[in-house]
Amino acid sequence: MIVMKFGGSSVESAEAIQRVTEIVKSRLDRRPIVVVSAMGKTTNRLLTIADLAVGGQRDEALRELVSLRDFHLRESGMERTVDEHFQELAELVKGLAVLGELTPRSIDAISSFGERLSSLIVTNYFQHHGINAVHVDSRKVIVTDHRHTQAIPLLEQTYAKLVAAIPPLAKQQVVVMGGFIASTENGVTTTLGRGGSDFTASLVGAGVGAEEIQIWTDVDGMLTADPAIIPNAHRVKVISFIEAAELAYFGAKVLHPATVMPAIDGNIPVLILNSRRPQVEGTRIQSATVLSKNVIKSIACKGQVLVLNIRSTRMFMAHGFMRRIFEVFDRNQTSVDMVATSEVSVSLTIDQPERVEAIVAELREFAEVSVDENQAIICIVGENIRHTPGVGARVFNALGGINVRMVSQGASALNLGFVVAGGDLNAAVQALHGEFFADLDPAVFDA
């Protein structure tokens, strides 16, 4: 068995689903299990509709809902299925308009409809184009805790349900599931966070013991840098799990950060492939170390980052100061990306601004706090970093006059991260790409 996950751009229209159908047909002998995201930008549109409803714009929300319904009907032709789902959605939207409040549970209920619909539409398309396909509602087999909008899978229960339900069906049929969506043990709909369809695919792959997990997207694989900044970025042919995880965490959009963990546990290779160019070999992510003549494999970056500068109100940091800081972030369910410390201060970065006011208020009970907005993290990643002297010197020489706010090297010693002003992000990535990828190892990179 293999797992094939297709992202929103890969199922954004009937034409795109036709491409997916041909790709799946070419792999029927490998007993594929197909996981799909919502069609195109459906999730964003659903959340916009929810915001309009709770913001007192009920009629506008319902008009947008009709537009989204028409899109799904036009691309699928499944009038009854589409109407049933959008009738349910309309009732939810009307309820939100009355309550005037959007809770995490309501967000999950609304945003789940994208994958619920796309998986049914793709199943129907397969069936009408020569593929013996069956739909499985992911909410029946992916079990999570109650942390709505970013639920954490309960692995023991999830794997037990997957192994009981999926392999018997996959013997004769192509199983189609919606990514991103799950449910609690009580059957309440949850979601795995934005980009969570990759995570679903990895969970399914680990749960059924798949031989391979394929992530189909709209780029040729993992690249040496963000193609929006480096249009001629090079494809990385092969990379290790640990390198891919670092890149995903620090902003490589082609892969969800959580994806690799179940794959690592199951020692299942992950392939990143392009549904528009299926002939391209893509990127293979594997457990074995990937030797390269280049020092680094790729440059990841993340914009719109906040830097919090936290200074002890005492001359020196008292015992427990760091613990108190991170307890604040834990209570506010906010992750920290990078940390730098000195004798009396701590600087750290976050990319979740939703709780920053509450976090700062708590921190100011025992520390002085300032916040720098519109910052960017840049992270160079490669297993050779730990074995190669002078990498830092090459980085700072390449950056020239660009001011670096923070520097952090991971405990694994295979990444070097730093913070620059958001306005310097593109120039910094371009300078580093020129420095580290002027010459390429053809065994690892596609020029």
Residue 294 has pLDDT above 60, yes or no: yes
In this structure, is residue 360 part of a structural domain? Answer: yes
Specify whether the CB–CB gap between 17 and 11 falls below 8 A.
Answer: yes
Query: In whole angstroms, what is the distance from residue 110 CA to residue 94 CA?
Result: 12
Query: In whole angstroms, what is the distance from residue 115 CA to residue 55 CA?
Result: 25
3-state secondary structure of 334: coil
Residue 233 has pLDDT above 60, yes or no: yes
Do 214 and 304 lie in a common domain? no
Predicted model pTM: 0.89
Q: How far, rounded to the nearest angstrom, does the alpha carbon of residue 300 sit from its chain's CA centroid?
A: 14
Of 169, 198, 218, which marks where a domain is finished?
218
Residue 7 has pLDDT above 80, yes or no: yes
What is the CATH number for 429?
Answer: 3.30.2130.10
Give the β-pairing of 133-136 and 181-184: unpaired
Q: Which DSSP letter does residue 255 get? A: S
Specify whether the CB–CB gap between 358 and 332 falls below 8 A.
Answer: yes
428: enclosing H helix or E strand: helix 425-436
Do 61 and 204 lie in a common domain? yes
Do 319 and 423 lie in a common domain? yes
Query: In whole angstroms, what is the distance from residue 382 CA to residue 282 CA?
Result: 19
Specify whether the CB–CB gap between 224 and 299 falls below 8 A.
Answer: yes
Query: In whole angstroms, what is the distance from residue 112 CA to residue 149 CA?
Result: 10
Do 164 and 302 lie in a common domain? no
Do 74 and 169 lie in a common domain? yes
**For residue 258, what pLDDT band results from cuts at 50, 70 and 90?**
confident
In this structure, is residue 286 part of a structural domain? Answer: no
What is the CATH number for 158?
Answer: 3.40.1160.10
Query: In whole angstroms, what is the distance from residue 192 CA to residue 179 CA?
Result: 9
Do 71 and 208 lie in a common domain? yes
Do 197 and 318 lie in a common domain? no
Give the β-pairing of 235-236 and 445-446: antiparallel
In this structure, is residue 141 part of a structural domain? Answer: yes
Q: Which DSSP letter does residue 354 get? A: G
In this structure, is residue 42 part of a structural domain? Answer: yes
Q: What is the pLDDT of residues 387-412, one digit of tens each?
A: 889 999 999 999 998 999 888 876 66
345: enclosing H helix or E strand: strand 345-350
Amino acid at 364: R
Amino acid 344: pLDDT: 77
Cα dihedral sign, 69-72-78-84? negative
3-state secondary structure of 188: coil
**For residue 368, what pLDDT band results from cuts at 50, 70 and 90?**
very high
Angle at 425 between CA 423 and CA 427, to 5 degrees: 95
Burial of 76 (0-12, 13-18, 19+ CB in 10 A): buried
Of 161, 183, 218, which marks where a domain is finished?
218
Q: What is the pLDDT of residues 334-354, one digit of tens each?
A: 989 889 887 778 999 998 888
Of 218, 252, 279, which marks where a domain is finished?
218
Work out how many domains the chain is built from and give that number: 2
* Closest residue by Cα to residue 191 from 129, 237, 142, 141: 142
In this structure, is residue 88 part of a structural domain? Answer: yes
Q: What is the pLDDT of residues 142-163, one digit of tens each?
A: 999 999 999 999 999 999 999 9
Specify whether the CB–CB gap between 373 and 306 falls below 8 A.
Answer: yes
123: enclosing H helix or E strand: helix 113-128
Query: In whole angstroms, what is the distance from residue 24 CA to residue 126 CA?
Result: 9
* Closest residue by Cα to residue 249 from 335, 348, 308: 335
In this structure, is residue 225 part of a structural domain? Answer: no
Amino acid 433: pLDDT: 97
Give the β-pairing of 174-178 and 32-36: parallel
Q: What is the pLDDT of residues 18-58, one digit of tens each?
A: 999 999 999 999 999 999 999 999 999 999 999 999 999 99
In this structure, is residue 431 part of a structural domain? Answer: yes
* Closest residue by Cα to residue 114 from 82, 140, 92: 82
Tokens (6 digits) for 403: 């001011």
Do 194 and 317 lie in a common domain? no
* Phi/psi of residue 194, nearest 5 degrees: -60, 140
Do 208 and 327 lie in a common domain? no
In this structure, is residue 94 part of a structural domain? Answer: yes
Specify whether the CB–CB gap between 176 and 136 falls below 8 A.
Answer: yes
The domain in which residue 442 lies consists of 298-446
